[in-house]
Amino acid sequence: MNSRGAARCARSVRLAGAVRCHGRAPRRLHGLRVAVSSSLGTATLPDEETQAAVAAAGATVTAADPAWRADPATPFAVFWAATYAGFLDAMPAERAAHMIPPLHRIAARGRRIDILAYHGALTQRPAITAAAHDVFQRFDLMLRLVMPAPAFNLKRGAG
């Protein structure tokens, strides 16, 4: 990722945080082209309140999904599970014990991924990247759900 892409990514993260934390979008959305995706990892649209806040801030909000040349869910699941298994296994056991059960299940799936499945996921990356590139030629920002597991309990590990 070049510096322009990194800046755009950081701006998107700040924007998403502002919308979710404050229930409203900052005024600097005016003129942005915002896609709302129902198929980028989940079948559920972001809630109507979030979509309305972004539109009220002056963005043009359109339902749009990338034209996937390969199903992104399968390689994503492979990379997510394999990577999480590696991170969880590298954690001290006492820390790993505090992770929520859905993340332990993801790591267990990751430990069962063989090299052929991982290589298959790698070969799909160029087609997925091309589809994502195409959608971001038409839109500045995409709203979507991002996590396949519920949020963790912040109080759980508090001293």
Domain extent listing, the chain? 3-143
Q: State which amino acid sits at residue 110.
A: G
Residue closest to 148 by CA, chosen among 70, 17, 37, 44: 44
Q: Has this prediction a pTM greater than 0.85?
A: no
Write out the two tokens for 56. Answer: 């009220």
Per mean pLDDT, which range of 94-103, 110-119, 133-142 is the poorest?
133-142
pLDDT digit string, tens, across residues 37-59: 766 644 556 667 777 777 777 77
